[in-house]
A and B are shown apart, each in its own frame.
Chain A
Amino acid sequence: MSKRVVSAPHDLTTSSGFILPALVAARLALALLQPFDLTHDHHLSSPLTSYANLQEGIYLFKQDIDPYSGGIVRHSPLYLTLFTTILPNSRFSAALLWTLCDALGAYAMMNIYRARQGIKTSSRDGLVAAMYLLNPYLFLPSLALSTSSIENALVLLSIMFASQRKPSQTLLVYAFLLHVSLSSFLFLAPLLLLLISEPFSHLASPRAFSGDFKKLPPLLGEFAVCFISLTMASTLISGGFSWIGQTWGASLTLPDLTPNVGVWWYFFTEMFDHFRPFFLMVFSVHLLIYIAPICIKFQYDMLYAIFLLAGILGTFKAFPTLSDPGLFLSMISLFPETYPYLRYPIVTSLLHLHAALLLPLFHHLWLSQGTGNANFFYASTLVFACANGAAVIDCVWAGLRIAIGEEKEGIVIAQE
């Protein structure tokens, strides 16, 4: 156990209870006021998560036209299920719904932190919630009504249920998540392993995997039942199987080359057709190859493995928005034990600041003003990928370094 237990500089116990409601209320006020229309921003929503495309899908469904017969609607049919039945479909209700998702995400983060520390309440609760709600990478896409906020809430909820050892809830929420975003497949293995192990911090004392593998098959079976019944519900509402190619297939075949903050789109705009299948395979496999090594290396602390995979996803996903790396950055608040061991947090933060300034600037220069071209924006996405990569690598380093402990006089830690 690390000697440096991080404690708050001043007592937040009395005020932390008010932080979450206050921030949620502020979020709600901002959403209802709607000072700008961010719905069409390329950084905040992608073709898979855009609110405009969701509205298109709902409209087409209501006109008795198959929403998945064209190339616009790439949202899961489960969204159609909810928005055409119980959820109202207006800007006002959308503001409420997205604020609710943010609140749920913050609540889940608080509970993950509490589960990891093994305490019922803590003085840092408010700080953790604030890290989620005040992160501009997260609240801007939420104001833009991008469904990536819903995806983030689902990720955090499933991790929360896993940390609280509630397998049914975990698997159901994760089944929803996998339906909504195929890239979250990366979380399947670590979530299941987290369910059968524990969320406590063992970063400083690595050991072999502590869970019982015999518990895995029933969990997998239950997940399969949830997943298949959700598939049937989706097939039922969309009246066919075309939704599979349009929603999940989009992450695999990249049919839409709308610019976003990721690195896939530019690569595939300049690619010859006969190389396309190969590189699509390479990019998809690139995401999959991280699962096994990270889960094996961090088998003593699966929560940290999930955190790192969220970072990988945020950097290398097919249609990312700012929410995906934003989730990773906010989740850093769950692992305060690693802060002393980060090697270059300043560099990473400055890179992120740099990218955050360049991305909208070059996007405007390219698409609004017309004095730049796509290379400008692509360069800024490269800087952003650099920043994300630096953050992930530094967190991997810190997670491993913490096991070695503090430096002592006269002893140098070298890598063989």
Chain B
Amino acid sequence: MFLSFTATLTKAWSFFLILWLTSCLYVSGEYHEHETEVKDFFQRNGSSTHTNNWAVLVCSSRYWFNYRHMSNALGMYRTVKRLGIPDSNIILMLADDSACNSRNKFPASVYANAGRNLDLYGSNIEVDYRGYEVTVENFLRVLTGRLPESVPRSKRLLSDSNSNIFVYMTGHGGNEFLKFQDSEEVSAHDIADAFEQMWQGGRYNEIFFMIDTCQANTMYSKFYSPNILATGSSLEGENSYSYENDHDLGVSVIDSYTHYVLEFMENVNKTSRLTMGDLFTSYNVPKIASHPGIRSDLFPRPLGGGEALHDYGRGSGWRHPGEWVGREQEKSKKGSEALITDFFGGVVGVDIEEDTSDAHHTEASSDSVPKERTKAEKKGVKASPYLAQRTTKTRSWINLKELRAWSSFLIVGLLVGLVWARQS
């Protein structure tokens, strides 16, 4: 009796062993499939693949007569906030406090135009680095993330490999340097190395670098990391000029390059599809009084801007040739164009493009919607193919979890049936 019992035991054991092994295979296969789907979602070619936006706005000069540098930075801050980047994602560095300066006839306000129409200081701004905290060391530490543990989160650039970062710098500069606080300077090599450290550490997806100083274009000439788009206000050997004075304040209130950039930005809202190329083609050299430059050879996506961008730096209006490093590569670039909102806003403009036939089948009903839709709606429609694709994929062959549930129930039922049948 004992021998027959062991025989039935081994038979039962082998059956269950096979069942268990197949279940392990199913389990491992399913896990792998999930991983590749998730990876695909985040690595699609040809569209901006950022998931969050950051901005680092630096005014590097102090003293009352550099009022305009602070209002440059604050103007950019206001625009960036208006277009959707929250305070938690903005690092604002102001080397001096012109709002509470004893020479300020309008205390607690900073204006960027001659009629003092818009107060940029207000009651809802968050300055992260103020006064003497704005140093070259702090700036480079913020970029690379190598800060001591005691530094609070609001003073950290907590970007990841899916972050698009807008870096804006203004102050007094020269050939490959920028002056900080009238006592030290940061060189173009330092910033280039900092960006490379960020790239190696996976701290950015794309960087848009804008600089408004004298001889600004030299500051971006040393970059060597991928996915950086840079623009500056003046060529090597050229000064950048301020825009206008306010007669009551007694100082220049804004720089002309920044003024025209901000004026262009007033036409941009969260859902607009204006491209970086549109921004660059809006540069008006006689008005700005200097020659802005572009560097796009490190940037993989096309800039947009249409035909007008082809004449950049060469057409009438350019007193002498403007600078565009990367002009030749522009024609051969593929993918979706770089939008203003990619750097200045949120992720509203990020497309989730599907190019598999499955999605077209499931999206057939939604293809017939009219073209005049807002960005958010479009994203909503386009987001659903991802889910639709997932469910179609799992339905096209056996639904795994149901199989597992029913086979598990089968084992249980088998046991109950066996015991019932024996009736011993």
Contacts and interface: CB of A to CB of B under 8 A. Distances in A.
Partners in one complex: yes
Interface of A: 61-62, 64, 77-78, 80-82, 84-86, 166-169, 172, 218, 221, 225-226, 228-230, 232-237, 239-240
A62 B405 CA distance: 10
Contacts of B182: none
Contact of A229 (B30, B404, B411): B411
B16 A172 contact: no
Shortest 3 CB-CB contacts between residues of A and residues of B: A237-B408, A233-B411, A233-B408
B9 A225 contact: yes
A85 B415 CA distance: 16
B424 interface: yes
A229 B411 CA distance: 7
B87 to A, nearest CB: 32
B5 interface: yes
Contact of B27 (A81, A225, A226, A239): A239
A212 B423 CA distance: 21
Given A81-B405, A85-B406, A221-B5, A230 B23 contact: no
Contacts of B415: 172, 226, 229-230
A240 B405 contact: no
B419 interface: yes
17 contacts: A61-B405, A64-B401, A77-B408, A81-B405, A84-B402, A86-B409, A168-B424, A229-B411, A229-B415, A230-B411, A230-B412, A233-B412, A235-B23, A236-B407, A236-B408, A237-B404, A240-B27
Given A85-B409, A221-B5, A229-B12, 15 more contacts: A62-B401, A64-B401, A82-B412, A84-B402, A85-B405, A229-B16, A230-B411, A232-B16, A232-B19, A232-B23, A232-B411, A233-B409, A236-B20, A236-B411, A237-B405
Contacts of A221: 5, 9
Nearest to B20: A232
A228 B16 contact: yes
A61 B405 CA distance: 10
A274 B26 CA distance: 40
B364 interface: no
A167 B9 CA distance: 17
Contacts of A236: 19-20, 23, 404, 407-408, 411
B390 to A, nearest CB: 9
B161 to A, nearest CB: 25
Contacts of A61: 401, 405
Looking at A168, A228, A230, A236, which has the most chain B CB atoms within 10 Å of its CB? A236
A84 B400 CA distance: 13
B416 interface: yes
A85 B16 CA distance: 21
A377 B424 CA distance: 49
Given A85-B406, A236-B23, A169 B419 contact: yes
A233 B12 CA distance: 14
Contacts of B424: 166-168
Contacts of A232: 16, 19-20, 23, 411
A78 to B, nearest CB: 7
Interface residues of B, number: 29
B56 to A, nearest CB: 37
Interface in B1-33: 2, 5, 9, 12, 16, 19-20, 23, 26-27, 30
A136 B319 CA distance: 95
A64 B26 CA distance: 13
A415 to B, nearest CB: 45
Nearest to B422: A168
Looking at A77, A81, A233, which has the most chain B CB atoms within 10 Å of its CB? A233
A225 B422 CA distance: 15
Contacts of B409: 81-82, 85-86, 233
Nearest to A239: B27
Contacts of A81: 405, 408-409, 412
Given A225-B9, A239-B30, A234 B408 contact: yes
Given A81-B409, A86-B409, A172-B419, A235 B20 contact: yes
Interface string B378-405: 0000000000000000100000111011
A321 B142 CA distance: 55
A218 B1 CA distance: 10
Contacts of B422: 168
Nearest to A87: B409
Given A166-B424, A236-B20, A80 B27 contact: no
Contacts of B419: 168-169, 172
A218 B404 contact: no
A83 B14 CA distance: 28
Contacts of A228: 16
B15 to A, nearest CB: 9
A172 B415 CA distance: 8
A322 to B, nearest CB: 29
Contacts of A169: 419
A63 to B, nearest CB: 9
Nearest to A85: B409
B399 to A, nearest CB: 9
B386 to A, nearest CB: 15
A240 B20 CA distance: 10
A77 B405 CA distance: 10
Contacts of B27: 239-240
Contacts of B26: 239
A228 B408 CA distance: 13
B418 to A, nearest CB: 8
A83 to B, nearest CB: 9
A235 B408 CA distance: 8
A150 to B, nearest CB: 15
B416 A239 contact: no
Nearest to A64: B401
Contacts of B405: 61, 80-81, 84-85, 237
Looking at A172, A226, A234, A237, which has the most chain B CB atoms within 10 Å of its CB? A237
A207 to B, nearest CB: 28
Interface string B79-123: 000000000000000000000000000000000000000000000
Interface in B334-370: none
A172 B417 CA distance: 11
A172 B416 contact: yes
Contacts of B16: 228-229, 232
Nearest to B17: A232
B387 to A, nearest CB: 12
A235 to B, nearest CB: 7
Contacts of A167: 424
A298 B27 CA distance: 48
Contacts of A168: 419, 422, 424
A182 to B, nearest CB: 19
Contacts of A240: 27
Interface string B115-156: 000000000000000000000000000000000000000000
Contacts of B402: 84
A237 B20 CA distance: 11
A218 B406 contact: no
Contacts of A64: 394, 400-401
B116 to A, nearest CB: 54
Contacts of B408: 77, 81, 233-234, 236-237
A199 to B, nearest CB: 18
Nearest to A170: B419
Nearest to A63: B401
